[in-house]
Amino acid sequence: MPLSDIDRKLIDRCLGKEPGAWKDFVDRYLGLIYHVIQHVAHARSRVVSQADMEDIASEVLLKIVDDDYDILRRYQGISSLPTYLTVIVRRICIKDMVKRRREEELGHANAHRATVGDSGEVEAIATAEEVERMLQDLPDREAEVVRLYHLKYMNYREIGKRLGVPEASVGPILSKARKRLRINAEHRDRPESAPAAPGEPRAKADHTAPPVSPQASHIEHRATT
């Protein structure tokens, strides 16, 4: 679904720091943010309190505002804005939950170091645009698994039930898809070799909707300055 006219105008207003634009953005998408947090928590069998949800939602809103709305500036309109934001929220939410779990297991002193090194639970796919582009390079089944996992935030059990495959096969399919995507990305990004001068060898390329929380309201000042 392409970018709607309403969302296009809302993004332009936020980037232009128009008075009231950030409040309208929060009013429109805070419900989606809470929904994604709840869904991720349920999928990972995590219990989050209302205070925890508000903390995570506030972190998401701060990320959107950071670097002069960099997240909104990088949005290319290939997917709908809700889809784009869903992937952003899911990534931030998973990272936060991993950190909270580490804090529970290891204590605050070691939690940050453990989280930084944890690449298994925080996906490298950053935006819905990236997912949509990458799906074009995959066979149908692998593309559907990636779509359900990264865009629909389903867990392995839900994906297996949806596609009619054993739950144990979902992980290998996803791993195979990621490997294929990495190879395709490396192939696309590989620089072409410069033509060699006559008589010289050719040089090789270098392949190196709940009510607005107090935290959300507090962010509005940062969004308009």
137-147: pLDDT as tens digits:
788 888 888 88
Between residues 131 and 140, the one the model is more confident about: 140
Q: Is residue 160 part of a domain?
A: yes
Q: Is residue 205 part of a domain?
A: no
User: Range of 24's domain?
Assistant: 5-190+212-223
Counting the structural domains of the chain, the total is 1
Q: Is residue 197 part of a domain?
A: no
Q: What is the overall mean pLDDT for the chain? A: 75
CB burial of residue 186 (10 Å; 0-12, 13-18, 19+) = exposed
Contact (Cβ atoms closer than 8 angstroms) between residue 90 and residue 63: no
Query: Given pLDDT bands bounded at 50, 70 and 90, which one contains residue 116?
Result: very low
Q: What is this structure's pTM?
A: 0.54
Q: Is residue 107 part of a domain?
A: yes
Q: Is residue 16 part of a domain?
A: yes
